Amino acid sequence: MNLSEKFFRRERRSVPAARDFTHAYLAEWGLAGTERGADVLLCVSELATNALVHGVPPGRQFRLLLRCDGCSLRVEVHDSGGGVPRVDTRPRDTDEGGRGLLLVAALADKWGVGERDFGKVVWAEFVTDIGRTALPRNR
């Protein structure tokens, strides 16, 4: 299994930075510009945004992990916030938010939430056809 990770500060520019970090790996794996790659990028954006808005206290960071085992890609966002995120299955048309996890649930093959000693990890898994392409370690 190959693993890459990066920490991001609690600031708005971290969401596009997390997306760029992920895009670099998708390009190496031949997934950039594909429908599946777009699904992964959208989910990374939503999970990173949720971490910033709901999970990362001031002065803290969130961690983005990408894991590849040759036939699936797992995205994990670790934060130090409490609580378990919930999917609002019926957001109102006038709501400005509340659709992030609904999108993740629709696009990922699996997703979930796990507890950590300090905080939580929200993850999404995507079945891919990337084969056994090796990932560079810890960019």
> What does the pLDDT read at residue 138?
43
Average pLDDT over residues 16-29: 93
66: enclosing H helix or E strand: strand 61-68
**Residue 94 reports pLDDT greater than 50:** yes
Q: Which letter does DSSP use for residue 46 in this model?
A: H
Enumerate domains of the chain plus CATH numbers.
2-127 (3.30.565.10)
What confidence category does residue 98 fall into, taking pLDDT thresholds of 50, 70 and 90? low
**Residue 134 reports pLDDT greater than 60:** no
Q: What pTM was computed for the model?
A: 0.84
Q: What is the Cα–Cα distance from 135 to 80, expressed in whole angstroms?
A: 27
- Percentage of the chain exceeding pLDDT 90: 53
